[in-house]
Amino acid sequence: MITGFQCGSPFNTETVTGKFRRGEGKIPYLKKEGRAKFSYRLEKEDVVYGLGENVRGINKRGWIYESFNTDNCYHREDTKSLYGAHNFLIIDGKEQFGIFFDYPGRITFDIGYSDPDLLKIELQDEDFGLYVIGTDAHKTCGYSAMEDIVRQFRRLIGRSYIPPKWAFGYGQSRWGYLNEADVRDVAEGYRNAGIGLDMVYLDIDYMERYKDFTVNREAYPDFAGLVSDMKKSGVHLVPIIDAAIKVESGYDVYEEGAANDYFCKDEEGNDYIAGAWPGRVVLPDVLNDKVRRWFGQKYKILIDMGIEGFWNDMNEPSIFFSEKYLAEVFRKLDKFRDENLDLEKFGEFGELVGKISNNPVYYKEFYHRTDSGVCLHEQVHNLYGYNLTRAAGEAFEELCPNHRILIFSRSSCIGMHRYGGIWTGDNQSFWEHLLMNMKMMPSLNMCGFLYTGADLGGFGSDTTQDLLMRWLAFGVFTPLMRNHSSIGTRRQEAYQFPGAAEIGNIIQLRYILLPYIYSEYVKAALGDDMYMKPLAFVYPEDDFAKEVEDQLMVGESIMIAPVYRQNAGGRYVYLPERMLMVRYQSPKQMQKEIVEKGHHYVEIGLKEVVFFILPDHLVPISSGGSCVEQIDFENLRIMGFVETYAEYKLYDDDGYTRDYDNPRCFTQIRAAKGKKLVWEGEKNSIEYFEF
């Protein structure tokens, strides 16, 4: 049951696509403290879920968060906002309800920061949509209250993006692969080490002077040839696209956009000039329908060269400087020349240049011409990345109606989940960032972002072999499984390490579990469900499960408990019920053991991945392979924990077309203890995996 309130005259974000009841008068649960301020008294035991891409826990209590998309590479405990604006919260206590603010500007969520028992929400202005989601359906439908609230919310915002099947393979990325030889080296490095690989990502280095939709011809003399060569060996090249367009006469994308007035404008109505990778840049005004169509069609340039996947970066938008601000900085700097730089003066001096990158003042300097009129960027800030990716997503449906294209973005806002996935930005090779990755996943899933994952191994700083191994052991389960690192850091391709063979075994588990991972992913998308859940969503009556933030449910059959501490030989695991523990060392070395409900110390060696299968649940697996294309999805094996009887609804398709709802995609598998497996559907063979 969803009630939608319209406060003032909100900007049409096109986020809500589903049905709701129009509310009038009093807003339930929340106390209105002013026109754009709300509060809610939190009981001691209340848990607050949501906010998608953010720091801290699955339970968001005890900090103040802000929705204002930011290119912030410091993912620390004191960070308030990252690259996304995901304004959805669930309160789980005596009262259980969800709230969603459909609003593109800045919002503050003070969740017990100023007052530990108070939730306070404040919006920057008075025009917004507010949706309140109650629950009682769970009493009859078999879902927990939290699952029910999430499902209702997700129905309100529309079906999550489903990438092509190959996008569920393992990918290698790095800022700093400079040319064709580098790319071939990576693919070869993996092949020689016998490690699976489905994509090599191309960072800004592939472009000609950081110009979108160009390829550096010196570095890539035959780009289309390379793309096709790589694809023959099962590897997709996935190039990056940045938000900003280089100002340069003769550059067709710039000239076309300038001639048609497709760029954001400054106060005087001229093209707004900012600074980014290519130097002076303009920003495509993707909040305008026509511009969106134009920008989206540009992806065709690369699609025509055989490209089938993209990542969209810098679309908060990230701005290094504005021309106006830069001039001011130079002017002020000059004044310091003859100053005595004492404490205060030196501070001011440092700040001038130190605060130049992504200074929030830039967002007050330019305008959009949207279908609902001219808007100052700051008021609609959180919609920029969303619409840049939407431009691509909409174009793909037109350009490739029968062919899914991979797309994920750095910046996002709820609504964008229909068009693409996200990666979680510039983390570091820190153990605490592995834990943060685990906590962020279910929060993102609640908000509709299913195709998501972090830079495995860490983007910034030097990684270590053990961190990479532990992170990959978690990454095996995240829909986006990509190893990515920054230029200037230690190389972290799996084959670079002495333990390459063991790292390869961990990655191979991904390919073995692929039938399950793909099936659970698509079912979550089709059913408005989460792919990764907190334990509390599945075991709502279990008080201890409520506090577990370092274990997750993955799909309907698996619980994971990754190791996230250096030099740990294992960890404590909480089992809300008796489960089958699977200990994986390599495709040929797997053991199982029944573990009883309760707390256990489980040894988990660096080379191992341990996961748990729920009682009377099944996990369809493959016999492995070195890329998704090689996986035999027709002859499957089942890992199961059948105590009496288990059923599993398997989803599978050709991996490319968009006929998701076709009943032929489903196979119903039934397993009764001691009996042969039976199934209805089109699979060739399905057998128990004996181990």
Instruction: Enumerate binding residues for ligand MIG (CB under 6 A).
Output: 175, 203-204, 240, 313-314, 410, 425-426, 459, 484
562 within 8 A of 474, measured Cβ to Cβ: yes
Nearby residues of 65 by Cβ (< 8 Å), 6 or more positions away: 51, 54, 80, 81, 108, 109, 111
- Shortest separation between residue 481's beta carbon and ligand MIG, angstroms: 15
Q: How far is the CB of 358 from ligand MIG (least distance, A)?
A: 10
> What residues are paired with 574 via a beta bridge?
599
Q: How far is the CB of 408 from ligand MIG (least distance, A)?
A: 11
For ligand MIG, give the closer residue by CB, 57 or 425. 425
The Cβ of residue 264 has, within 10 Å, a number of other Cβ atoms equal to 24
- Taking CB positions, which residue lies at the least distance from ligand MIG? 175
Shortest Cβ distance from residue 385 to ligand MIG (Å)? Answer: 12
Which C-beta is closer to ligand MIG: that of 388 or that of 509?
388
Give min distance, CB of 318 to ligand MIG, in A.
7
The amino acid at 595: V
Nearer to ligand MIG, 162 or 454 (CB): 454
3-state secondary structure of 377: helix
Q: What is the nearest approach in angstroms of ligand MIG to the Cβ of residue 70?
A: 12
List the structure tokens of 433: 């960032």
Q: What minimum distance in Å lies between the beta carbon of 69 and ligand MIG?
A: 13
Burial code of 478-509, b = ≥16 C-beta within 10 A, e = fewer? bbbbbbbbbeebeebbbbebebbebbbbbbbb
DSSP designation for 272: P
**Closer residue to ligand MIG (CB): 243 or 405:** 243
Taking the least distance from each CB to ligand MIG, the nearer of 86 and 617 is 86
Burial readout 318-329 (b: 16 or more C-beta within 10 A, e: otherwise): bbbbbebbeeeb
Q: Given the complex with ligand MIG, which of 425 and 562 has the nearer CB atom?
A: 425
Angle (CA) 471-474-477 rounded to 5° is 140
Q: How far is the CB of 143 from ligand MIG (least distance, A)?
A: 36
In the complex, least distance from residue 74 CB atom to ligand MIG, rounded to whole angstroms: 13
Cβ-based nearer residue to ligand MIG, 484 or 546: 484
Residue 611 class from Cβ within 10 Å (0-12 exposed, 13-18 middle, 19+ buried)? Answer: buried
Nearer to ligand MIG, 102 or 426 (CB): 426
Length of the chain measured in residues? 691
Residue that has been written with the tokens 């890992």 in this structure: 639
Query: Which 3 state secondary structure label does DSSP give 132?
Result: strand
Phi-psi region of 625 (alpha: psi -120 to 50; beta: other; left: phi over 0): left
Structure tokens that stand for 372 in this block: 């609902």
**What would you report as the CA-atom Rg of the chain, rounded to the nearest whole angstrom?**
25
Using the minimum distance from each CB to ligand MIG, give the nearer residue, 422 or 582.
Answer: 422
